[in-house]
Chain A
Amino acid sequence: MDFLILNQGSFPILSTLIFLPLAGALVLLLLKGDNAARIWALVVTSVNAALSLPLYQNFDITTPKYQFGEHHAWIPSLGINYTLGIDGISLLLVLLTTLLMPLCVLCSWRYIEKRVKAFMVCLLIMETSMLGVFAALDFVLFYIMWEAMLIPMYLLIAIWGGPRKTYASIKFFLYTLAGSVMLLVAIIALYLANDPHTFSIPQLMGQDYSFTFQVWVFLAFFLAFAIKVPMFPFHTWLPAAHVEAPTAGSVVLASVLLKMGTYGFLRFCLPITPQAAVAAMPYVIALSIAGILYGGFTALAQSDMKKLVAYSSVGHMGFVTLGIFVLNMRGIEGAILQMINHGITTGALFICVGLIYERTHSRELAKATGIGKYMPLYVAFLVFFGLSSLAFPGTNSFIGEFLILVGGFAYNKTVAALAIPGAVLAAAYMLRMLQKVVWGGTNNPDQSYLTDCNVREIVTLAPLLVFVLWIGLKPAPFLDVLHVSVNHLLSQVEAANPGVIKLASATAAQGKLLALP
């Protein structure tokens, strides 16, 4: 177990983080009353968020090993273990999840009026399975968490969703499940390809699999993860699910669920099937660029604000996959940071759209024009998040996209040049939305009945704004935790492809030159 640094002390922090929400959900079943359910869910998620903060403090940034590890035998006859641990790649995602969940509870405070208790239970179970996905180091444990989240997410959309909730929820479920059945076969094949058989993810990395085997495993992985991301052309479930889901559902979906796909690429595709990943590089990059442009153009044409944000996600996630598959230090670090940024910014934008929907019961852009006069605080938030979404300098996404593009140029100038219009498109659709919402035109509907954000709504949005500016102005604390892990990841890929990709250590050295203040 040399890849794992076992958790020091007797307090199993990762297990606690994972199972506290589940325990909270069970207790919640016994509570009576809607407000009790809301408050309890808020308490549980907040405690979980507070508990997760020491992870950052105690994280050792000098080692690529998995930290805070826990290891127990689970099903010994098949060598299945309960192994947890996080490295630099998963640390930020775990924190993103825990910190975002209280906000999800807050933004559903008034939005969800029926069956509040069941809603909160679903939300808490989601948290358990999402954290489980990011912390699992055993493939079976990972797969269980990965699939288990389908049920609460399905219910979130199917019960509390909009008018086309049935269609959207079924599409979401079928798409994601169909994508991951082959993942299971690939997992078993990997298990059997090693001697002794193992499901331990770190032990499956860096093995000498044949190229054909790698290609097949990579394809199975790719299908599952590309659907989750979603990459063009596997994205069609996303707008439907986003539009119909309740606000908290959209936030969870955009901020965390989509990241599982890209996390899967980083955690499995690159280190386990490195040769296949390198072989697939051009194709994945092509799909990424297609996604960036397609997402941008479609977002430009939307009249429904939620759909606009949903399609913008397709574009942003295209940047992330582009960053991952250019396979250099800059690109991958930018991609991971962009995953976090997208989680913050798009989550915030969905909350903003939800606020309008609560007031006007419409997501139509045309009905939300010219509200800047009546909701100044709200539009201030909206403008910040909108600018962040289009990667305005000084906001978080700028750093992420910039790094990805630097990585892209290092890989191939044409490729990066092709991605640039995506950034321009983002500016176009976001500014178009902002202009309409804030000012509108001469024929704005009467918006004088609107009330500005209340304290709860400010508390929901303010933390996100802090992170937007924090990462935008001083990204070092976030990038520092990535360096060693990403370097290790690249060295794994490089070891399997000698001479094919650039020296990871060399790019790391370059990284210092360009290190941002």
Chain B
Amino acid sequence: MNGLVFAPELVLLLGSLLVFFVTLGHGRTGAARGLSLATAVGALICSLATLGHEADLFFGAYRVDLFSQLFKTAITLGLVLVLLVGRRLADIVEEARPEYHLFLLLSATGLVMLVSSVELITLFVALELSSYSVYLLVPMRNDRQGLRIQMEAAIKYVMFGVVASGVMLFGMSYLFGITGTTYLGELLARLQAIGATPAVVAGLTMVLGGFFYKLAVFPFHFWVPDVYQGAANETTTYIATVPKLGAVALLIRVATLVSPDGEAVVNFMIVLSVCSMFYGNLAALVQTDIKRMLGFSGIAHAGYVILGLVTLKDAGFAAAFYYIVGYLVMSLACFLVVCAVSRDGENVAISDLAGLYKRAPLLAFTLLVGMFALAGIPPFVGFMGKFFLLTNALQQGYLALVIIAALNTAISIYYYLSVVRVAFTADPEGRPAVPTDPLTGVVSVVLVLVIIGLGCLPNQVLSIATTAVRAIL
């Protein structure tokens, strides 16, 4: 049994290995793509099959439970969708395309391992596996203007990433120094006994910082706009969606370490949340590049997710899970359109979407649903997620925070609406029709249905998430 619960990771590792052998040959992009997709689907099936199983592996450093398997399901599902959405890899250097798949799989493997890690060192290794693979994806883009913006993006990504990792390690050393253990379970017990001493607060805050970097929370967000813009559309699709699941999973795990009297840590998170929302939304207002805009909007959404974390309650954590899963599908819907509109993989300005409604009705509709969902308009998942977050935060008495979040919703609607406006009311002005192949059509319909379905019938997901979170508290 113990071996079987490790199946998602095994499938991913095996798939990565096979793709690695494929990369040794030449021009085997098709094979690498097919293998990656098969691996991702296999891992998804395994994650679903192990849902509800529990086991402690590797001397207790690795825990398989409902919480981890739920996140693995979401991560592998996200991977499948990313592979489908970005399967053209139009702007990735031709000879690097097989390797691209390899690193994508490895990054997902890292994330899948991350959500099961309950020991600090394991956790760090898994995190770095997922991060370094992504660092390599960014510079694989074609150098189309000779400006090497992809290199700049990659360097920024690595530099900030390494600093964040360093800060996190430093924080971990504090926690280890105080408690003498690296196991989260024991840490929890001992930290509760010690209470919120300055050293504990500093340690926890720094560990949280590492994950805030992944989630792109202010002030750990500086890499976001340039990386989003500099990386290929397909790479951005991945960076903007799947790693955030891992970040939220670990933020929830670390947040459980915060003792109920840990006001300092909670206040720290509240400040970051408010800053993220305002900074992300205000900066997004003036963007002209859609990826950059989605990047800033992602910062704002990270701020919303923290609303669920500061509650330090199971319902709040479950709401955070629900929200980030919703964010995954909403963003994927938007990025699907971006990838499809950009024929050669060039960056898409918002004005390039002009008249999309006439050029590709289905894509325009998908964009409409994605944007309004991100804006939090019912009946889409974005509304329900925000509603749960606000309800839980208000229940814990964070009235000011809730009002600020509501105001931010009103600010954000403008830039989401601007995109829709361009797509639906602007004249195409000779921009060509966007051919939509059947697979893209199917994926976009599925995404739209999921966005509406999750928004109208959230109960299933919410209750399973609550059960999962309750088990790790």
Contacts and interface: CB of A to CB of B under 8 A. Distances in A.
B458 interface: yes
- Which size bracket describes the interface of A in this complex? 20 to 34
Interface string A118-148: 0000000000000000000000100111011
Nearest to A161: B425
Interface stretch (A69-77, A287-295, A401-409): A69-77
Interface string B366-393: 0010001000011100010001101100
Contacts of B425: 158-159, 165-166, 169
B378 A170 contact: no
B189 interface: no
Nearest to A183: B406
A174 B417 contact: yes
Given A77-B466, A177-B413, A158 B407 contact: no
Nearest to B406: A181
A192 B395 contact: yes
Contacts of B410: 174, 177-178, 181
B395 A143 contact: no
Nearest to B418: A170
A30 interface: no
B208 interface: no
Interface string A168-202: 01100110011001101100110110000000000
Interface in A207-225: none
B402 interface: yes
A143 B424 contact: no
Contact of B402 (A147, A148, A155, A188): A188
A210 to B, nearest CB: 15
Contacts of A154: 417, 420
A189 B406 CA distance: 13
Interface string B401-421: 011001101100110011011
Contacts of B402: 185, 188
A181 B391 contact: no
A500 interface: no
A158 B421 contact: yes
Contacts of A74: 459
Given A144-B383, A151-B372, A166 B421 contact: yes
A184 B387 contact: yes
A184 B406 contact: yes
A150 interface: yes
Contacts of A169: 421, 425
A303 B405 CA distance: 43
A66 B200 CA distance: 56
Interface in B130-170: none
Interface in A454-485: none
Contacts of B391: 78, 188, 191-192
Contacts of A144: 378-379, 383
Contacts of A170: 417-418, 421
A177 B413 CA distance: 8
Nearest to B402: A185
Given A147-B383, A174-B417, A184 B390 contact: yes
A170 B388 CA distance: 27
B377 A148 contact: yes
Nearest to A199: B391
A204 to B, nearest CB: 15
B460 to A, nearest CB: 10
B406 A77 contact: no
A173 B378 contact: no
Contacts of A188: 387, 390-391, 394, 402
A181 B466 CA distance: 26
A188 B388 CA distance: 10
Contacts of B462: 75, 77
Interface in A333-348: none
A311 B58 CA distance: 74
Given A140-B387, A144-B383, A166-B425, A181 B409 contact: yes
A77 B394 contact: no
A178 B462 CA distance: 28
A453 to B, nearest CB: 32
B465 to A, nearest CB: 10
Nearest to B357: A159
B333 to A, nearest CB: 15
Contacts of B421: 158, 166, 169-170
Contacts of B413: 173-174, 177-178
B466 A185 contact: no
Contact of A75 (B390, B417, B458): B458
Nearest to A150: B377
Given A78-B388, A155-B424, A165-B425, A189 B394 contact: yes
B93 to A, nearest CB: 40
A77 B315 contact: yes
B267 interface: no
B463 interface: yes
Contacts of A159: 357, 424-425
A506 B403 CA distance: 42
A148 B379 contact: yes
Name, among A178, A184, A191, the residue most crowded by chain B CB atoms within 10 Å (CB to CB): A184
Contacts of B459: 74-77
Interface in A437-460: none
Interface string B73-114: 000000000000000000000000000000000000000000
Nearest to B318: A77
A173 B417 contact: yes
Interface in B254-294: none
B409 to A, nearest CB: 5
Nearest to B397: A192
A185 B406 contact: yes
A158 to B, nearest CB: 5
A148 B384 CA distance: 12
Contacts of B466: 77
A482 B399 CA distance: 38
A182 B383 contact: no
B415 to A, nearest CB: 11
- Interface-central residue, A143, A144, A165, by most chain B CB under 10 Å: A144
Contacts of A148: 377-379
A184 B410 CA distance: 12
Interface string A56-95: 0000000000000000001111100000000000000000
A117 to B, nearest CB: 10
Contacts of A76: 459
A147 B357 contact: no
A173 B378 CA distance: 14
Contacts of A147: 377-378, 383
B367 to A, nearest CB: 13
Contacts of A143: 378
Contacts of B383: 144, 147
Given A74-B459, A151-B372, A173-B417, 6 more contacts: A75-B462, A145-B378, A173-B413, A174-B410, A188-B391, A188-B394
9 contacts: A77-B315, A140-B387, A147-B378, A154-B417, A166-B425, A177-B409, A177-B410, A184-B387, A188-B390
